[in-house]
Structure 1
């Protein structure tokens, strides 16, 4: 399944098409695909990486994540598997052949462990709200109300297909759940720190030589709020560094607004990955 964008090369063509022609409930898959893969591919990927790190800040969840060994011993593979499974559903549709295969694979992985429903709910909520919050901080244009609501309905349906129970019945209620859950459960443990450091160092290894990674770590920390940093046992950056990093990301906005819109979708399922340079089968993703 591929949803086609409007013909216009206007930088706001995707937004205008969504606002004029699509419904956030009935067309949530199409809206989420167009918004993510055309207007905000880089931003959404960074926001979902931040969502992953936020999950590491939940002390009651992190012991299981450490015990599986996936995030500490096979960090690159675990990252690639997660990205590809989620991307198969988003880019092809969760009701397509490949989307259903990815969903089956994800459910097979989760059935290996006993995971409380509220932890599933919290992780699902980060997929909705971290891209929204990233956009509020750094987006080249604001997400529209339709885009936000479509994201909620997209992940609500994915959650239902994962048999997650008691998904809050509205965008606002799910956001309250997200905020309240963090207030109750985001606190420090050594497991949190180990998971966060392993994932942070993996991401820095993609772009920096070893000698520059300590500086890179400080830059990454500047993107985290103080509650998350404390829960992960990571040092708080100086206010000056935080202003510098956030200012640099906001400076992308005017540049991107001046450019014509992306003509082809950025599809992560079509990119080579470090774990699968020669391609992959959906059935082989995840722990074997």
Structure 2
């Protein structure tokens, strides 16, 4: 009797082990299939990679998949870094120090920038998310999403028009909004970008740059890289103002992490920079040990996502489809601390308070009109 019980338990354990192994293998197969499903569908749907460069709608579809589904964390981080790297240029850092906006209101400026850029690039994924919940949304509501995009570009141009920023600095920053996501994703994400995805990033930001009235924008990605290299060779140089802009930004970004991790962030920073940029900030270049630790952690993360994580079904968005009762848009979640727009925001009011739109009634009173 005892022998039979032991044999039964042994058989049960063996069955459980076999069943568990089967479930694990099945899960890995499901993850592998779904992880690459979006990529494979895109390649089948658009066999000619150059069509992305010619068609705005296709570019926005692919761009949205990259930034809001496939790689949302590093896509956002790369754009933050695209805004950070120009601080290594004295012409940029000295201007920012003179305005004191990044020194005194770093969190507010970062949130304004994040939301303006999100409003510009998110109409397509906002519409797609809403269609999943409400297939009968009106054409008027869809049109409104694209009107928000144009209003955001207009607001961005208004704010930039308040400062004496050179076209060279504008063009370099625009290049970074293409070069940095490509670099981050190809270097550290769970897979590299397909040529269609590279073309989509290029097409989207080329169009945005044109609407921002940036001049002399080249029409090929290779020329953009040439501009980046030439600019960094001549304009990225040491100045005390560089670090005065960089330091509060690093502290701001570190608010997402536990406090004890902030010193680690300072150690990791040189791993993300070129040696010339480290010198421009007046910081040490990354040690061999820190580079090894950083790359090891990033590799583990990439492998974990590739083999063990199912992909997103919905786009990861902060900007909502509808405004609240006051006509403001309340972000779905907050990235930075302290949370700035808990009561919502209006696109035309994003930016420094001194550049807030004036109330027509108040302006009339100041001019002595009634």
Return the TM-score normalized by structure 1. 0.92
Counterpart for residue 288 of structure 2: 239
Query: What does residue 332 of structure 2 align with?
Result: 271
Instruction: Report 1:1-288 matches (<5 A).
Output: 10-22=34-46, 23-25=51-53, 26=55, 27-92=58-123, 96-209=146-259, 211-258=260-307, 259-269=309-319, 270-273=331-334, 274-287=339-352, 288=356
Which structure is larger by alpha-carbon Rg, 1 or 2?
2
Deviation per CA, 1:224-270, whole angstroms, max 9, x where unpaired?
22221111112223210121012201211111112221111111324
Q: Given that residues 9 and 261 in structure 1 are in contact (C-alpha distance below 8 angstroms), is that contact kept between their aligned partners in structure 2?
A: no
Structure 1: unaligned runs, 5 residues or longer: 1-7
C-alpha distance in structure 2 between counterparts of 1:144 and 1:193, whole Å: 36
SS state of the match for residue 90, structure 2? coil
User: How far is 1:272 from its partner?
Assistant: 3.0
How far 1:216 sits from its partner (Å)? 3.0
**Does 172-181 or 221-230 show the bigger shift?**
221-230
Aligned to 1:10, the other structure's residue is in SS state: helix
* Distance (whole Å) between structure 2 residues aligned to residue 232 and residue 95 of structure 1: 40
Checking the alignment, whether the CA contact within 8 Å between 1:223 and 1:246 is kept in structure 2 is no
| Structure 2 runs not aligned, ≥5 long | 1-31, 125-143, 320-330, 357-370
Alpha-carbon distance in structure 2 between the residues aligned to 1:212 and 1:10: 34
Report the number of matched residues: 280
**What is the Cα deviation at residue 219 of structure 1?**
2.4
Give the TM-score normalised by the residue count of structure 2.
0.72
Deviations 1:113-164, CA, capped at 9 Å, x for gaps: 1211111100000000001111121011110111111111110100010111
Q: Which has the higher helix share?
A: 2
Which one has more relative contact order, counting CA pairs under 8 Å at least 6 apart? 1
**1: CA distance, partners of 2:310 / 2:254:** 30
